Amino acid sequence: MVKPKRSESEPRTTDFVESLDRGLRLLQVFGERSSPMRLSEIAALAGLPRATARRILFTLQHGGYVSSDGKLFAPTPRVLTLAVAYLRSNQMVAVLQPVLDKIASAAHEISSLAVLDGDEVVFIARGSPTRIFTGGVDIGYRLPAFCTAVGRVLLGRLGDAELRARLSAMKREALTPQTVTDPKRLLSAITADRGRGYSLVDREAEPHFRSIAVPVKRYDGIIVAAINIGTHVDRISTDEMQERFLPLLREQAGKVMATLL
């Protein structure tokens, strides 16, 4: 019997580069602190032995991705080239950026584009009515999916059984007094949002912030992202968000469906 030839794109156990995996994990921990860190802190956050973290840091420093004064380590601007590579190659960002700008201009509020990454959402683009980014979430900002409007829209693409299992397994910490953490209530909320085609989350992710989001679908109807409008609770009511912002979001999301592959 002739053994089928392995495709070059098919991964093998020996293809996994553990040192690269550790290096990427170490780079990610810099996003958990807003100031330079000591070697011991970095090693602990990355879950790596101190000696391993030290070698990786010196390798990254040699490549220009990390700087150090001998005691403290911090990422350099070169790290941004990794994010730029994603943003430049991502079709959704190119297609949706003009849409976000239109939404923000019409609503006079910030509009954002988010995708699901594990149990979190990551914001990959946004539009501002003034083009001055003084509020709202930054590009690359992460939040738990279960308590955000964009997250619930994205989780809604899962089948009921998979969604139930996902909610039960994920970490669900209350971020505000209003955060819903019970998996049964979340399942009910997300399935209801799926049925009506949008999600509105009020003060569950941040204490003074509410957001309304709709799915972004590609040409075949598969949900690939979510767009939202978020605002301070003192400025816009939930009723106004549904009356003013929901039709705008739905209209703009519908326009890009045929162009997303």
Q: Give CATH 3.30.450.40 domain extents, the chain.
A: 90-259
- Asked whether the beta carbons of 139 and 110 are under 8 A apart, the reply is no
DSSP string, 164-204: HHHHHHS----SSTT----HHHHHHHHHHHHHHT-EEEESS
What radius of gyration do the chain's Cα atoms show? 21
Q: What angle do the packed helices 39-46 and 18-29 form, to 10 degrees?
A: 110
Q: Give CATH 1.10.10.10 domain extents, the chain.
A: 15-78
Please name every residue paired with 72 in a beta bridge, in sequence order, or none if there are none.
38
Query: Tell me, what's the pLDDT at 134?
Result: 46
Give, for all 261 residues of the chain, the pLDDT tens digit: 455 555 555 555 566 788 888 888 888 888 878 789 999 999 999 999 999 999 999 999 999 999 999 889 999 888 877 777 676 667 788 899 999 999 999 999 999 999 999 999 999 999 988 644 445 567 888 999 999 999 999 999 999 999 999 999 999 999 999 999 999 999 999 999 999 999 999 999 999 999 999 999 999 999 999 999 999 999 999 999 999 999 999 999 999 988 886
Task: Report the C-alpha gap between 183 and 174 in whole angstroms.
Answer: 12
Amino acid at 25: R
Query: Tell me, what's the pLDDT at 24?
Result: 87
Sheet strand arrangement including 111-117 = 142-144, 120-127, 111-117, 223-232, 209-217, 199-202
Burial class (CB in 10 A: 0-12, 13-18, 19+), 170: middle
CA distances from 260 to 48, 84, 103, 134, 224 (A): 40, 20, 18, 30, 9
CA distances from 3 to 6, 11, 210 (A): 9, 17, 57
Task: Report the C-alpha gap between 223 and 163 in whole angstroms.
Answer: 15
Assign a CATH topology to domain 15-78. Answer: Arc Repressor Mutant, subunit A (1.10.10)
pTM of the model as a whole: 0.75
Task: Report the C-alpha gap between 26 and 126 in whole angstroms.
Answer: 27
Q: Is the CATH number 3.30.450.40 carried by domain 90-259?
A: yes
- Asked whether the beta carbons of 43 and 56 are under 8 A apart, the reply is no
Name the maximum alpha-carbon separation found in the chain.
Answer: 71
Task: Report the C-alpha gap between 50 and 46 in whole angstroms.
Answer: 10
